[in-house]
């Protein structure tokens, strides 16, 4: 058990570190370990009254140690451990589902390592007699396989028979579950994932593993040919399914912008990661590009925007879809190098706008930026627009271009992000306006696609 909790500690520490959370893994593991051991023992005593502590046991320290060295029910420890995690979530002011997601990989690896203890002690967690080449015998185990009361004799087999080493099976299953949960955690760090999804999947896999292994375990059958562990495993699977449905349904109701905002607030967006947009004919290797988050242009596109500022030296830039002002600040850096120019950027969501304004105010670039909390189609601009960068909702890109087109400099530029052949909406909008004779279009082959256009008037 000590090794199991140590393994869980390192898994949890790694998870906390990659999620950039201010949590103490030692405290979490220590509290959950104590709760789990106590819960496992209590559940076993309730399930097996004959093993309860007696006055005779209390009279001898040796007998007390002997009583406590065996008889732990996994489900009791599991329930008590979850209760402890929910308590700690409140203490750390972390969402309960986030805490469970965070701890799922640690639970998987801890369970896997803990089963090694079951194997080397021969505590009765092994399986039924078998002829498989890897079968094992536990003649000196806490629950011996030989003797008149051993599982071999009770099953009508020779007393020196071998049994299924089910702890090894469960160790392998636990390791595979850990690998899967860790990979899902990587996905959650890269882009938004509904809180509770990882926990739901863990419960399903964990319950399924336990339900299946019980068919070759020696536990007594109590209901419809199932052991108490199998019934508990079915309840675990059901809980996981319910949690998955609720978590995903609730997540679908969250505004996409707020999904990314919450993700950025939790994980930060200072470190870049490979672009994960699917490959397209024009961009077959998107992983060569870098990204901060799903709502922000690729890092290379951001650098391109900054370069455009210093190359064409616009006096007035209009940006739609500020989000967290990452692209705004990149373009403002270019204007700062020029020593002149202004960006009017608009964001309709009040909560997102507040976050963006905070970044702009501390950036040292505030004098180059006019940030507005309003819809792009309601934004009024005085003067001639030298560069329009549309990066709001895809369905708004075409109305935005049409809205600002009369004020765009004939020799100016129009940029529209998210124009890949996979996303289509922006790409088709650009081609439609080109067919109408409004703009001339070039598609840059970036992962999410970038339109560079100019008014047809500027091509004469």
Residue 65's pLDDT band, with cuts at 50, 70 and 90, is: low
Query: Domain residues of the chain, as ranges?
Result: 2-127+164-253, 291-459
Tell me the C-alpha distance between 450 and 257, whole Å: 20
Helix or strand run (H / E) with residue 411: strand 408-417
Tell me the C-alpha distance between 352 and 371, whole Å: 12
The closest of 53, 51, 5 to 29, measured between CA atoms, is: 5
Count the Cβ atoms, other than its own, within 10 Å of residue 131: 8
DSSP 207-249: HHHHHHHGGGB-PPEEETTEEHHHHHHHHHHHHHHHHHHHHHH
**Helices 96-121 + 74-92 axis angle, to 10:** 150
Residue 326's pLDDT band, with cuts at 50, 70 and 90, is: very high
Q: Looking at domain 291-459, which CATH architecture does it have?
A: 3-Layer(aba) Sandwich (3.40)
The predicted model scores a pTM of: 0.70
Helix or strand run (H / E) with residue 151: helix 151-154
- Please tell me whether residue 316 adopts helix, strand or coil conformation: strand
Q: Estimate to the nearest angstrom the gap between the alpha carbon of 145 and the chain centroid.
A: 44
Cross-strand partners of 369: 343
Angle at 130 between CA 128 and CA 135, to 5 degrees: 100
Q: Which residue has tokens 């990452």? A: 326
Q: Which residue has tokens 């309601």? A: 378
Tell me the C-alpha distance between 193 and 185, whole Å: 9
Residue 70's pLDDT band, with cuts at 50, 70 and 90, is: low
- According to the model, what pLDDT value does residue 366 have? 94
> Which of the pair, 449 or 191, is modelled with greater confidence?
449
- According to the model, what pLDDT value does residue 19 have? 83
> What is the phi/psi pair of residue 137, to 5°?
-115, 150
**Of all residues in the chain, what percent carry a pLDDT higher than 90?**
52
- According to the model, what pLDDT value does residue 270 have? 58
Helix or strand run (H / E) with residue 402: helix 397-404
- Residue-wise pLDDT for 122-146, tens only, equals 888 888 898 999 999 988 888 888 8
Helix or strand run (H / E) with residue 90: helix 74-92
Tell me the C-alpha distance between 311 and 318, whole Å: 17
- According to the model, what pLDDT value does residue 50 have? 56
Tell me the C-alpha distance between 78 and 168, whole Å: 20
């Amino acid at each position: 058990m000590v090794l199991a909790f140590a393994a869980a500690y390192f898994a949890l520490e790694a998870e906390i570190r990659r999620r950039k959370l201010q949590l103490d893994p030692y405290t979490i593991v220590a509290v959950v370990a104590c709760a789990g051991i106590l819960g496992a023992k209590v559940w076993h005593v309730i399930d097996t009254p004959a093993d309860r502590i007696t006055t005779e046991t209390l009279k001898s320290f040796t007998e007390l140690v002997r009583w406590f060295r065996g008889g732990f029910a996994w489900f009791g420890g599991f329930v008590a451990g979850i209760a402890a995690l929910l308590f700690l979530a409140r203490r750390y002011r972390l969402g309960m589902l986030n805490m469970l997601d965070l701890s799922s990989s640690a639970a998987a690896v801890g369970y896997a390592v803990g089963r090694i203890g079951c194997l080397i002690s021969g505590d009765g967690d092994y399986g039924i007699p078998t002829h498989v080449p890897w079968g094992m015998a536990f003649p000196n185990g806490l629950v011996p396989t030989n003797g008149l009361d051993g599982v071999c004799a009770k099953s009508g087999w020779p007393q020196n028979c071998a049994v299924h080493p089910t702890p090894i099976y469960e160790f392998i299953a636990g390791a595979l579950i850990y690998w899967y949960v860790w990979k899902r955690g990587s996905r959650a760090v890269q882009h938004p994932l509904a809180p509770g999804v990882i926990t739901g999947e863990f419960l399903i896999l964990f319950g399924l593993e336990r339900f299946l292994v019980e068919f070759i375990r020696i536990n007594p059958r109590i209901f419809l040919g199932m052991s108490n562990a199998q019934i508990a495993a079915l309840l675990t699977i059901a809980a996981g399914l319910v949690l998955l449905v609720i978590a995903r349904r609730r997540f679908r109701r969250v505004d996409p912008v707020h999904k990314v905002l919450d993700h950025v607030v939790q994980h930060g967006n200072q470190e870049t990661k490979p672009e994960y947009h699917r490959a397209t004919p024009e961009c077959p290797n998107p992983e060569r590009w870098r990204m901060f988050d799903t709502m922000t242009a690729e890092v290379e596109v951001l650098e391109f925007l900054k370069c455009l500022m210093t190359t064409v030296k616009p006096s007035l830039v209009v940006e739609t879809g500020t989000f967290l002002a990452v692209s705004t600040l990149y373009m403002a850096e270019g204007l700062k190098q020029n020593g002149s120019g202004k960006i009017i950027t608009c964001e309709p969501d009040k909560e997102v706008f507040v976050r963006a304004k905070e970044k702009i105010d501390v950036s040292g670039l505030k004098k180059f930026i006019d940030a507005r909390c309003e819809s792009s189609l309601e934004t009024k601009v005085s003067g001639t627009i030298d560069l329009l960068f549309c990066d709001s909702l895809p369905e708004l890109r075409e109305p935005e271009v049409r809205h600002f087109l009369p004020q765009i400099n004939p020799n100016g530029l129009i940029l529209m992000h998210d124009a890949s052949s996979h996303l289509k909406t922006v790409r088709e909008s650009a081609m439609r306006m080109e067919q109408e004779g409004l703009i001339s279009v070039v598609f840059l082959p970036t992962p999410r696609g970038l339109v560079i256009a100019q008014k047809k008037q500027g091509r004469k």
